[in-house]
Structure 1
């Protein structure tokens, strides 16, 4: 199956490089969407757990709330990273590793969301969730209606933009260890907010590429387990989009 590059590291060409034999037990778009919905529920379940842990601790002693959820954030972050590697290098295991990834990411997102909600003292988490679903629905509509066409130039443009963002984040992360001032990225200034808006836009465009890859894999008769892999790749982008929207809202709230 010939599928062009994607900026989503999950959807590498090698995963889709073989010609699948068509059978009755093949990947479908509806099956992938159903598994995406299930993974989303698992993310919510994990997030509710750490969210409640944080606010239960904050109710008794606000100063210790972060330390209470810190181990769960660590578990979620490390566990999520490991399951990403397992899923990417062994797609056949995605039926097991993808749901586990969703739970780990839920633990991480719940803790991060609770901390930022407390720091800003505004309902930014609910707004971020609603905006994430709104962007998802909008991009799906734009893709399905053909308003946004996934051409090779479009793919390469999104790929280049995503790689550029990753490079900026990497340089700022390493530079932080050497005293580099990263307030222009993580502060609440106009440039920082503008940068976050650009990142949100690029993350949204990555959803279009994900839709395209899932549809192409389905059309090519990919095996049934690829529904889990497709759902996994889509969740990676959705989680990135949510985090970027949450960060953007936190920056805006800090200016009030």
Structure 2
């Protein structure tokens, strides 16, 4: 289970079992809440004429608050039912703010990134359901190594940013940065296959339906990651 939110959670078996339909319904609800809060913040910031600095700080603040909530869900999965909605709202604010910042620089990028995210998600679901891509132990091992390597690079990048710098080549918009961003988009996209497989494994194991929220939050996190990576890649291509 490469998705950290799911892989770290200890899911209980018993009671009424979870279902794929239940996860789909909860994921749809969380996506709807994220869209509402994201669009709300987007248009409020636009109409109120908020400064880019304030929008950026609000977005980053929401992102870190969302990370804290995700860690709580990770280590306290029984709290997912309570924390899923706040997590979705925080992610929405983060996405709304970041999308507005990108739109001010590259007007067509946010909508293109959004379409690319959902089209890619549909393609990944089709690949998974058709069995063209098999989620086996080797696939999981490769994906987990790639995801954790990317996470470490991003943590190092944040450290550089705090000191007003950046990792050489990987985030400067050049050809190496475009290649790296494309690689991360591919890894984020294939992470959806792991999410789909995790859900099927949870259903097969008879995990309690209360933990459908954990899988839904995991799916939302992957989709948010995909969208952000598409934003980054498309902005590099615009430059």
SS at match of 1:10: helix
**2:146–2:187: 8 Å Cα contact kept in structure 1?**
yes
C-alpha contact 1:57 1:68 (8 A) present in aligned 2: no
User: Which of 16, 22, 36 is matched with 1:45 structurally?
Assistant: 36
Higher relative contact order (CA 8 A, sep 6+): 2
Which of 96, 99, 120 aligns to 2:82? It is 96
Q: Contact between 1:53 and 1:69, CA under 8 Å: does it hold in 2?
A: no
Q: Residue 3 of structure 2: which of 2, 5, 8 is its match?
A: 8
Structure 1 gap segments, 5+ residues each = 1-5, 59-63
Q: Which whole-Å deviations, capped at 9, do the CAs of 1:128-167 have from their partners, x for residues lacking one?
A: 1110001100101101110011110000001111111112
**Judging changes above 3 Å, is the alpha-carbon distance between structure 1 residues 43 and 152 closer, same or farther for their aligned structure 2 residues?**
same
Q: Is the 8 A contact 1:50 1:69 kept in 2?
A: no
Give the match for residue 186 of structure 1.
171
Partner of residue 227, structure 1: 212
Q: Post-superposition shift, 1:52?
A: 0.7
How many residues align? The count is 239
Matched with 1:148 is 133
1:139 matches 2:124: yes
Q: Decide which structure has the larger Cα Rg and report it.
A: 1
Give the TM-score normalised by the residue count of structure 1.
0.87
- What's the CA shift for 1:183? 5.1
Determine the C-alpha separation between the residues in 2 that align with 1:71 and 1:176.
Answer: 14
Counterparts of 1:49 and 1:67, CA distance in 2: 18
- Please, which moves more after superposition, 228-237 or 86-95? 86-95
Contact 1:43–1:105 (8 Å) recurs in 2? yes
RMSD: 1.9
Cα 1:228–1:119 change in 2 (3 A) is same
Deviation at 1:117? Answer: 0.7
Partner of 1:35: 26
Kindly indicate whether the alpha-carbon contact (under 8 Å) linking 1:142 and 1:148 is maintained by their aligned counterparts in 2. yes
Unmatched 5+ stretches in structure 2:
none
Change in Cα spacing, 1:180 to 1:209, as seen in structure 2 (3 Å) is same
Equivalent in the alignment of 2:58: 72
Query: What's the counterpart of residue 45 of structure 2?
Result: 54
Shift of 1:78: 3.5
Q: Distance in 2 between matches of 1:250 and 1:104?
A: 24
Distance 2:210 2:230 in 1: 31
In 2: Cα distance, 1:15 partner to 1:156 partner: 20
Superposed displacement of residue 188, structure 1 = 1.9
Of 227, 231, 237, 1:246 maps to: 231
Q: Which residue of 1 aligns with 2:190?
A: 205
